[in-house]
Amino acid sequence: MHEALLVFHSLPSVNVVSWNILIAGFGQVKELKIAMSIFGLMQKSGFEPNEVTYTSLLSACVKSRDIKSAHQMFNNIPEPSVTTWNALLSGYCQEELHKTSINLFRIMQFANVCPDRTTLVLLLSCCSEMETLEFGKEIHSISIRLMLDSDRFVSSGLIDMYANCACIDLAKKVFERMTDRDLVAWNSMISGLTLSNLNKEAFILFKQMKELDLAPTDYTFASIINSCSKLPSLPQGMQMQAQTMKYGYINDVYVGTALIDMYTKCGDMKSAQLFFDCMLIKNIISWNEMIHGYTQSGYCEEALDFFDHKLEREQKPDSFTLTSVLTSCSRLGSVDRAMQYFNCMTDLGVKPIIDHYACIIDLLGRAGRFKEAEKVIEDMPYKDDPIVWEVLLSACAIHNNSHLGEHAAENLLRLVPLNPSPYIILANIYSGLGRYYDAVAVRELMDRRRVVKGGGCSWVDGRVGAIQCSYRPSQDLERACVQSGA
């Protein structure tokens, strides 16, 4: 851009095209301030900006993630073209303002601007993220009307949208009708099958792709390794690791993170740790997978030590990291250690979310430290979330704390009046304290409000030799037990 600016100044005469190219160039390298300064100089020099000028500035604002300024530039264009609309739509999609993108498309339709394949791909991406199937089908209909449904970019977007909306059969139909399948289409289909837990089909498709001499990408391997995690299949996962080495993706951070996840879900923490140590590039997701893996495998002390080591290495944690850490503390029963982590979350740059509060309240409640639990509830911003009161009520049931249990039950009945759990747990608390009249009163209140507890059932699973139990047996099983004298 420095040489471009020198050439611009050396020109004997300039026109609007020259100014536009310079503005667009600085926009591409995300130098928004310089692009705006050149725009100001252009106007002072007596040149009238046109649609290309505003579109270039709009694109510069989008690249710099300044969507507000981008929309202001858009409003300066009397009759924006489809390219300009697409530039603004991409900005809103980039900022994950998907509802605004859809509303903007409605305005675009009323302005009689015909969408192109870029417009449809952007909107399908919004539908995929929001999982809005009905609007996704509308976009599919529009693509058919415009004869763009066979376009490989639009088709890949349709596959991704249907897969994310749990309509994998429709995604398969779109894929099967494609005559020109590129890597994006294959990756979208493999990812969709993995998302729908059709892991064997994902492997078959992966094999077909290779038979067509299409080289897998990092995205392909990340998806197929995820299938290994879900099966879980350690031998296939190790085979995929060998293939990532063959194709040169072993050092890719996303593929590496998928491999760590695969090893942890297959219970091989030793291999997960070894692979993690060998990774050249690590991100926050890689660290989270290791901590979460140790937690889920029962190595909670190792998970906490790993987290402390992470802090020493100055790796900034996120909310998911702290959720795994607090879960480890919960399983170890380390209340004080959990409170220490919880109290320093803000210093670590992590804003506590409902999962963190629920975990802390659960820990404090099960430890019988109800005063501290009440203090946490008073200070938290999620007082209208049922999960907090459910956790507290369950803890009160363990310690037969009727006073706080009543308070938790009242809030639960306010938030979810048809949920039978608070009635039953509170009645059990009263029964445990010998307050049978109060227990009966709660049951009668439940009947008056027509709150019905779901029927329980019991069965024996011969495959695993385990008895699965619910709150009470079904009527058929009760009758059978009576008849047999059991």
Q: Which residue segments constitute the domains of the chain, with CATH numbers given? A: 283-347 (no CATH), 353-454 (1.25.40.10), 455-486 (no CATH)
CB contact at 8 A, 42 and 78: no
pLDDT tens for 115-155 read 999 999 999 999 999 999 999 999 999 999 999 988 999 99
Alpha-carbon gap, residue 288 to 378, rounded angstroms: 30
Distances in Å between the alpha carbon of 238 and those of 175, 227, 273?
Answer: 29, 12, 15
Distance CA 57, CA 254 (A): 33
| Position 465 pLDDT exceeds 60 | no
Confidence of residue 231 (pLDDT cuts 50, 70, 90): confident
Contact 39, 72 (CB under 8 A): no
Residue type, 168: I
pLDDT of residue 456: 63
pLDDT of amino acid 310:
80
Percent of the chain at pLDDT above 90?
50
466 φ/ψ angles, rounded to the nearest 5 degrees:
-120, 145
User: Does residue 331 have a pLDDT over 80?
Assistant: yes
Q: Is the confidence at residue 332, as pLDDT, over 80?
A: yes
**Predicted pLDDT of residue 314:** 66
Instruction: Please state, in angstroms and rounded to a whole number, the distance separating the CA atoms of residues 219 and 257.
Output: 12
Average pLDDT along the chain: 87
Phi, psi (deg, nearest 5) at residue 459? -155, 160
Quote the CA–CA distance of 142 and 12 in Å, as a whole number.
49
Q: Does the pLDDT value for residue 466 go beyond 70?
A: no
Q: Rounded CA gap, 69 and 71, in Å?
A: 5
Q: How far apart are CA 231 and CA 198, in angstroms?
A: 10
Q: Which amino acid is at 41?
A: L
Q: What's this model's pTM, rounded to 2 decimal places? A: 0.75
468 vs 42 pLDDT, higher one: 42
pLDDT above 90: residue 77: no
Q: What DSSP state is assigned to residue 49?
A: P
pLDDT in tens, 262-287: 999 998 999 999 999 988 888 889 99
- Residue 176 reports pLDDT greater than 90: yes
User: CA distances (Å), 279 to each of 223, 247, 273, in order?
Assistant: 19, 16, 10
CB count, 10 Å around CB of 384? 10
Query: Would you say residue 344 has pLDDT above 60?
Result: yes
57 neighbors 71 (Cβ within 8 angstroms): no
Three-state DSSP class for residue 424: helix
Model pLDDT, residue 476: 47
- Contact (Cβ atoms closer than 8 angstroms) between residue 61 and residue 28: no
The residues, any chain, with a CB within 8 Å of residue 349's CB and separated by 6 or more, are 316, 317
Look-up of token digits 């349709």: 158
Residue 439 has pLDDT above 90, yes or no: no
Question: Do 143 and 114 touch, CB atoms closer than 8 A?
Answer: no
SS3 state of residue 69: helix
- Distance (Å, whole) CA 247 – CA 400: 60
Distance CA(64)–CA(33), nearest Å, equals 10
Using the Cα atoms of residue 83, residue 85, residue 89 and residue 91 in order, give the sign of their dihedral: positive
Q: Is the pLDDT of residue 480 over 60?
A: no
pLDDT of residue 463: 44
Structure tokens at 199: 């892991």
State residue 311's pLDDT score: 73
Mean pLDDT of 241-268: 92
The 10s digit of each residue's pLDDT in 205-223 is: 999 999 998 999 999 999 9
Q: Cα(36)–Cα(28) distance, rounded to whole angstroms?
A: 13
- DSSP codes of every residue in 119-141: HHHHHHHHHHHHT-HHHHHHHHH
**Residues 253-270: b if buried by 16+ CB within 10 A, e if exposed:** ebbbbbbbbbbbbbebbe
Looking at residue 70, its amino acid is A
Dist. CA 375–CA 370, nearest whole Å: 9
Q: pLDDT over 70 for what percent of the chain?
A: 93
Model confidence at 444: pLDDT above 50: yes
Of 362, 326, 359, which is closest to residue 341 (Cα–Cα)?
326
Mean pLDDT (whole number) for 369-385 = 90
Tokens 């004869």: give the residue. Answer: 147
